[in-house]
């Protein structure tokens, strides 16, 4: 674990689409990359003209045929297929997304039925979806798939040509499943903590923490209405009754509806309490976390004693966003949310 430190160098590598063959490397004048929970992350790289050899490398690079890898002080921190290339003047801009982006261009090709006796844990359904998506053409992803049970048994039925695999994976992530990507490894897991990092406090941030209690987001009783199913959770809270109705047509079983209702109440009763770091702040280099410890899904204990309301909370990391330029150096941003939900005001560190 940690400390976070300060990156001295970022380099990018251009590989074939399987990540098995490297064609060359380049130094970036600016770049950003991210890790996210329940969505596809992105990296953007600006490479200035560095001579004929580098120019040929970039000129030969093609979207989808090539993969981008980002190295922080020679440690791999991000990789995925290049999806857009912009040659402009004396620089080239590369946009890439993690390996789940392939699943946005993979359709449901045949009936997938997980109803009745075929009901399954949500992560099993997710695994079958991912395997289905990559079955006709696997860019070396399935070998790295990592699955752990969610503990929630659900029903789903996907008709032929009914949509894209990634859309269905995102839908599952609303009802008791989480996914994230590290390199070319897709992690499918339940909504429980993936792990626990050392605690952070005011001095681990450059800039003050803000404490926000969001009463407008409070829920004490939730009703989830799916396709022919309904579930409720909660009741009258300490400060009164605050009801919420969620319409979820994609949910087809009581277990998934109940899981979402439970999660809604758990996340919003009492009113969500957020710790927010200003946009121009960053984690201090001595923060006791390494860059590859920052995996969406882990629990981050945070304590703040610098305001009128002292707060010590276990928060969940849902997004990491890093930016680097030659002039300003590195800034690492994180988004934290109360346990049980996947969105919160941005916390930029």
Residue 132 — φ and ψ, nearest 5°? Answer: -60, -45
Percent of the chain with pLDDT over 70: 95
Mean pLDDT of the chain, nearest integer: 90
Lowest pLDDT segment from 24-38, 206-220, 232-246 = 206-220
Pairing type for strands 185-190 and 177-182 reads antiparallel
Confidence of residue 344 (pLDDT cuts 50, 70, 90): very low
User: Does the pLDDT of residue 109 top 60, yes or no?
Assistant: yes
Confidence of residue 250 (pLDDT cuts 50, 70, 90): confident
Alpha carbon distance 349, 333 (integer Å):
4
Pairing type for strands 299-304 and 200-201 reads parallel
Cα–Cα–Cα angle for 89, 91, 92, rounded to 5 degrees: 115
What average pLDDT does the segment 8-33 reach? 95
What pLDDT sits at residue 20?
95
User: Does the pLDDT of residue 341 top 70, yes or no?
Assistant: no
Confidence of residue 188 (pLDDT cuts 50, 70, 90): very high
Structure tokens at 238: 């300490």
What pLDDT sits at residue 340?
57
Structure tokens at 113: 């039925």
The distance from CA 159 to its chain's CA centroid, rounded to whole angstroms, is 27
Bigger pLDDT: 54 vs 209: 54
What pLDDT sits at residue 345?
36
Residues whose CB falls within 8 Å of the CB of residue 51, separated by 6 or more in sequence, listed in order:
none
What average pLDDT does the segment 151-158 reach? 92
Measure CA of the first residue to CA of the last residue in the chain; give whole Å: 18
Indicate if the alpha-carbon torsion angle 179, 168, 177, 235 is positive or negative: positive
Lowest pLDDT segment from 153-157, 276-280, 299-303 = 276-280
Per-residue pLDDT reduced to its tens digit, 280-304: 457 888 899 999 999 999 999 988 8
What pLDDT sits at residue 281?
58
Structure tokens at 186: 């897709």
Bigger pLDDT: 154 vs 44: 44
User: Does the pLDDT of residue 278 top 80, yes or no?
Assistant: no
Residue 2 preceded by cis peptide, ω within 30: no
What average pLDDT does the segment 96-114 reach? 98
What pLDDT sits at residue 277?
56
CA distances from 265 to 123, 216, 340 (A): 23, 14, 9
What pLDDT sits at residue 348?
33
What domains can you pick out in the chain, each with its CATH number?
10-98 (2.30.300.10), 103-190 (3.55.50), 215-270 (3.30.1920)
Bigger pLDDT: 169 vs 310: 169
CA within 13 Å, CB half, 219:
23
Quick one: three-class SS letters along the chain? CCCCCCCCCEEEEEEECCCCCEEEEEECCEEEEEEECCCCCEEEEEEECCCHHHHHHHHHCCCCCEEEEEEECCEEEEEEEEEEEEEECCEEEEEEECHHHHHHHCECCCCEEECHHHCEEHHHHHHHHHHHHHCCCCCCCHHHCEECCCCCEECEEECCCCCEHHHHHHHHCCCCEEEEEECCEEEEEECCCCCECCCEEHHHEECCCEEEECHHHCCCEEEEECCCCEEEEECCECCECCEEEEECCCCCCHHHHHHHHHHHHHHHCCCCEEEECCCCCEECCCCCCCHHHCCCCCEEEEEECCCCCCEEEEEEEEEEEEEEECCCEEEEEEEEEECCCCCCCCCCC
Per-residue pLDDT reduced to its tens digit, 41-79: 999 999 999 899 999 999 999 999 999 999 999 999 999
In the block, which residue shows the tokens 């859309």?
167
């Amino acid at each position: 674990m940690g400390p976070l430190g300060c990156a001295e160098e970022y380099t990018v590598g251009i590989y074939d689409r399987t990540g098995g063959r490297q064609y060359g490397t380049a130094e970036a004048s600016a770049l950003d990359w991210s890790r996210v929970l329940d969505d596809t992350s992105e990296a953007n790289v600006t490479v200035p003209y560095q001579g004929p050899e580098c120019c040929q490398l970039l000129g030969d690079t093609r979207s989808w045929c090539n993969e981008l890898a980002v190295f922080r002080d020679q440690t791999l921190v991000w990789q995925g297929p290049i999806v857009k290339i912009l040659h402009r003047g004396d620089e080239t801009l590369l946009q890439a997304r993690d390996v789940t982006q392939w699943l946005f261009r993979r359709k449901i090709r045949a009936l997938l039925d997980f109803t009745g006796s075929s009901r399954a844990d949500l992560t099993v359904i997710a695994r079958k979806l991912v395997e289905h998506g990559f079955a006709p053409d696997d860019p070396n992803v399935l070998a790295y798939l990592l699955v752990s049970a969610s503990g929630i048994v659900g029903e789903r039925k996907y008709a032929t040509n009914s949509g894209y695999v990634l859309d269905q994976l995102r839908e599952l992530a609303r009802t008791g499943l989480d996914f994230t990507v590290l390199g070319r490894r897709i992690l499918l897991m339940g909504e429980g903590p993936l792990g626990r990092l050392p605690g952070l406090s005011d001095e681990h941030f450059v800039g003050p923490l803000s404490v926000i209690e969001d009463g407008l987001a409070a829920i004490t009783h939730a009703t989830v209405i799916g396709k022919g199913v309904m579930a409720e959770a909660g009741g009258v809270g300490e400060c009164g009754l605050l009801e919420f109705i969620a319409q979820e047509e994609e949910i087809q079983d009581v277990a998934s509806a109940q899981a979402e209702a439970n999660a809604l109440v758990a996340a919003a009763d009492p009113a969500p309490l957020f710790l927010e770091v200003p946009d121009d702040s960053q984690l201090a280099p001595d923060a006791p976390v390494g860059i590859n410890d920052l995996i969406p899904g882990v629990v981050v204990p945070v304590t703040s004693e610098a305001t009128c309301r002292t707060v010590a909370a276990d928060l969940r990391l849902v997004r990491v966003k890093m930016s680097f330029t030659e002039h300003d150096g590195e800034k690492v941003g994180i988004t934290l949310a109360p346990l049980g939900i996947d969105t919160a005001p941005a916390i930029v560190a």
